[in-house]
Structure 1
Amino acid sequence: MIEPITFTVPLSFEAHEIAQQCSKQSSQTKFKQVYLNTLAVYAVDSYLRCMGFETDWLLSDSRNPLMLKLMDVADLDVKQVGKIECRPVLPDADACQIPYDAWGDRIGYVAVQLDQSLKQATLLGFTRTVAKEVPLAEMNSLEDLLVYMNRIQQLKPVNLMNWFDEVFDAGWQVIDELLNPKQLQFRSFRSNNTVPIDRGQKIDLGMQLAEHSVALLVTIPPEPDSELDIVVEVYPMGNQTYLPPGLKLTLTDESEEVIFKAESRDADNFITFTFTLDLRELFSITVALGEVNVKQSFRL
């Protein structure tokens, strides 16, 4: 048996002063929740800064008095990575509790065990599982957390959860700006009665495509859920009716394993596939023609 790697942070006077400030406007029943949450965030913030990550705790919901009053949150914003939820765990607990308030817009959850005297906090591990309760024995190691966060930094993925708040990365346009009226009419005919969220991006593969510019379209449901059905499509742009033959559309997971692949044939108006992913998953879409390809990463 190999002991899991943990990290212990002393809870200094500064930590307790911040916790006191965050919880002073709380009701009696809310005081303990906010205080312990704040200590947990302090510990994770200290750890990640030791590991070389830039954090922005002041801009996190866990430092917003209104959000603390209304919700049970212990989030920490990590620059170029996303939000980590830092959940306090009492000494005799065997599971990490994750409230519904913290189910959205998180790349993962870190279990932070506070000792009885609140003098130190130990980071036990992390999980990307969205559940009311996650057994501590099923947590991934802190080493896995660092690998995962470094990978997110390197890939700089598009955060699809932001789309539910109508926040879109540069270069992602409304579909009307990319497709011609006939294509738009065809997409409308294929859709059901729901109004999904969709955006598109022009893909330039250089000389390999000559005059055949293409648009990569991504569609998600109108409301977030624990699982999301995602539709990916590629259409020719401008006056082109067909995609160039041999254009490949590939979906890979965070381990670079190919999940789906589609390839255009002669006289294909578009290529597409639909897949379902859990929250917290990282994936990539590649559009390729010959030896030239463009890759875009996403996360939920």
Structure 2
Amino acid sequence: VELLGFAPYHAIAKSLDPLPLEQLESLDTLIDKIDWIKKSVRVTQWFEELFQADWQPPASLLPEYRYRSSFKTVTSFRGSELGIKRRSNQEPRIQALRGNDRSTMRAKLMDLAGQGVVLLLQVNFQPPDTEDIDIFMRLYPAGDAMYLPPDLQVNLLDESGKSCMKAQAGKTNDKIQIDFSCQPEERFSVRLKLGDISITEKFII
């Protein structure tokens, strides 16, 4: 038996047709993908009440008023493509998602050179209407701090490491928010940088 390559789940899930050989990925990259998966947070497991120890209920890290603010920016994320749209009619949909039992939320305390920030992910899924997984990502100051550390940078990366979206905190920013959606088995990462300190969190849908 000769292994010619492999294909990720999202490349074959929607078609019963044989996959052309030229669309197979090299086996040389398989180990890297397996390593990524081992080090990643699989966010859809949160719907099954399976949480990593360092991902906690937001209320244990933040006052509730901070993370119950409205969502205004809608970002569409597909693999290496990212488009930003602002829609005046988006808020009713967000409110509907909030009431959906296919919604889960977790937060993690991130230490950047002694300055803490809280990374929060709200994950929404509405089968059978769509396979899209909506992700609302927010950064908040930790503890009693009113604002995020000035010059804190956040970078949303696709599975190839390509930057999709960037944001940087000013002197009086109390949150950073990036909203996007993914398909099952897609991967992304979030890189936080403050001065010479950088932390990357990897995720898989």
* Alignment TM class, shorter chain as reference: 0.7 to 0.9
127-136 or 234-243, larger mean C-alpha shift: 127-136
Q: Larger % of helix: which? A: 1
CA apart distance, 1:218: 0.9
Q: Which letter does structure 2 place at the counterpart of 1:202?
A: L
1:229 to 1:194, Cα distance in 2 relative to 1, 3 A: closer
How many equivalent pairs are there?
Answer: 176
1:134 to 1:259, Cα distance in 2 relative to 1, 3 A: farther
Q: Determine if contact 1:6/1:125 at 8 Å carries over to the other structure.
A: no
Q: Which letter does structure 2 place at the counterpart of 1:168?
A: F
CA apart distance, 1:254: 1.8
Return the alpha-carbon distance in structure 1 between the equivalents of residues 5 and 113 of structure 2: 48
Is 2:107 aligned against 1:200?
A: yes
Q: Which letter does structure 2 place at the counterpart of 1:206?
A: A
Name the structure 2 match of 1:274.
Answer: 179
CA RMSD, 1 decimal: 2.7
TM-score after normalising by structure 1: 0.52
1:162 to 1:205, Cα distance in 2 relative to 1, 3 A: same
Alignment of 1:1-300 (within 5 A): 6-7=2-3, 125-128=6-9, 129=11, 130-137=13-20, 140-141=23-24, 143-144=26-27, 147-154=29-36, 156-186=39-69, 192-195=95-98, 196-207=103-114, 209=115, 213-223=116-126, 225-300=130-205
CA apart distance, 1:170: 1.9
Q: Determine if contact 2:125/2:133 at 8 Å carries over to the other structure.
A: no
CA apart distance, 1:141: 3.1
Quote the sequence identity (%): 26
Q: Which letter does structure 2 place at the counterpart of 1:217?
A: L
1:151 to 1:274, Cα distance in 2 relative to 1, 3 A: same
Q: Determine if contact 2:125/2:134 at 8 Å carries over to the other structure.
A: no
TM-score after normalising by structure 2: 0.74
Q: Determine if contact 2:5/2:26 at 8 Å carries over to the other structure.
A: no
Between 1 and 2, higher relative CO (CA 8 Å, sep ≥ 6) is seen in 2
Q: What's the secondary structure of 2:53's corresponding residue? A: coil
Return the alpha-carbon distance in structure 1 between the equivalents of residues 26 and 5 of structure 2: 11
Return the alpha-carbon distance in structure 1 between the equivalents of residues 22 and 43 of structure 2: 25
Deviations 1:118-155 (A, max 9, x none): xxxxx7743432214143216743634x5144333156
Return the alpha-carbon distance in structure 2 between the equivalents of residues 238 and 124 of structure 1: 48
Q: Which letter does structure 1 place at the counterpart of 2:7?
A: F
Q: What's the secondary structure of 2:146's corresponding residue? A: coil
Q: Determine if contact 1:199/1:217 at 8 Å carries over to the other structure.
A: yes
Q: Which letter does structure 2 place at the counterpart of 1:166?
A: E
Q: Which letter does structure 1 place at the counterpart of 2:153?
A: K
Return the alpha-carbon distance in structure 2 between the equivalents of residues 260 and 142 of structure 1: 26
Q: Which letter does structure 2 place at the counterpart of 1:183?
A: R
CA apart distance, 1:161: 2.0
CA apart distance, 1:268: 0.7
Q: Determine if contact 2:125/2:132 at 8 Å carries over to the other structure.
A: no
Structure 1 gap ranges (5+): 8-122
Q: Larger % of strand: which? A: 2
Structure 2 gap ranges (5+): 72-90
